[in-house]
Amino acid sequence: MTEQRSIGFLLHPGEQRVIEAAVARAQSCGYGVWTALERPEESIADNGDSAALLVTVGGDGTFLYGARLAAPRGIPVIGVNRGRLGFLNDIEVDDLADAISSFHAGDFRTQRRSLVDVRASDPAGDASALALNEVVVRARGVSVARLRVDVDEELLGVFDADGVVVATATGSTAYALSAGGPPIDPRLHVLCVVPLAPHAVISRPVVVPDAVVVRVTVERGEVFVATDGHSIAQLADGGDITVRPGPELEVVRFAHSPSFQARLREKFRFGVPHKDIELMPPVSETRLERRSVTESRDAS
């Protein structure tokens, strides 16, 4: 007998009511349903073999967490926005039930996003984690650290700086962008190395292929290491951080999913003249207008 395929919902406790319509739609499409609440890692481990889809409901942090759990198991992910920015999420919660119907009908495409496998090492031991957005190596307190960055065992640079960010294309619009890095279309398989406040006349972000191994060595100072906003280690002189290619995440996208360029305009007002910002409709209105035009076209 073929095992019933299932859809999992990763969300915060107390948010169950917002997915009631989506749960009912998934069940009507023949899927088993499970939720990842208090113990998400256990839930996904228990249901991963049958999972056809993981739906993350929350902000970008929830999506990042779900991505790190789903990618090693090859589970596709849909991001549903319940946060403030929601740059990584394609669906609003009111549209989720219809999105599940589209998924069941095969009316979707997937976009592959690269994760990185991070290992921090020093004499005290090792720590490891996956990251979809970035790895941050930052000096503790107000001190400056000296950090050596090698790419495939060849020197990229030595930086007296507040730190270094190694961001994926997906994470290029997070911390790396705030630190002066370029926004990068997530369809590109690259990493961006961004020095933080370096003491150098010429020191700019550098984009390299994500197939390389990036090593950051602490030559002087004390730093902490964080992946996707979560601290995983504290290192001192001689400690190093290795960033290697990790698993790929399948992100489910639909006909109305916003493009990367639209995201930059709508979320960051990128490239929008200041005098025109007040004239731009909110993101929600833009999507509703786009959908109504499509429905009118289909009806005709």
pLDDT tens digits, one per residue of 207-242? 999 999 999 999 999 999 999 999 999 999 999 999
The residues annotated with a catalytic role in the active site are: 60
Does 233 share its domain with 278?
A: no
Does 220 share its domain with 262?
A: no
First and final CA of the chain: distance in angstroms? 44
Does 61 share its domain with 121?
A: no
- At 299, the pLDDT band (50, 70, 90 cuts) reads very low
Is residue 44 domain-resident?
yes
Is residue 212 domain-resident?
yes
Domain coverage including residue 122: 116-247
The candidate with the shortest Cα–Cα distance to 182, out of 166, 202, 162, 205, is 205
Does 98 share its domain with 125?
A: no
Is residue 1 domain-resident?
no
Instruction: Identify the DSSP state of 183.
Output: P
Does 219 share its domain with 282?
A: no
Does 120 share its domain with 233?
A: yes
Does 88 share its domain with 169?
A: no
Mean pLDDT (the chain, rounded): 89
- At 289, the pLDDT band (50, 70, 90 cuts) reads very low
Report DSSP letters for 152-163, one per residue. Answer: TTEEEEEEEESE
- Supply the pLDDT for residue 294: 40
Question: How many domains does the chain contain in total?
Answer: 2
Residue 151 contacts residue 213 (beta carbons within 8 Å): yes
pTM (2 d.p.): 0.86
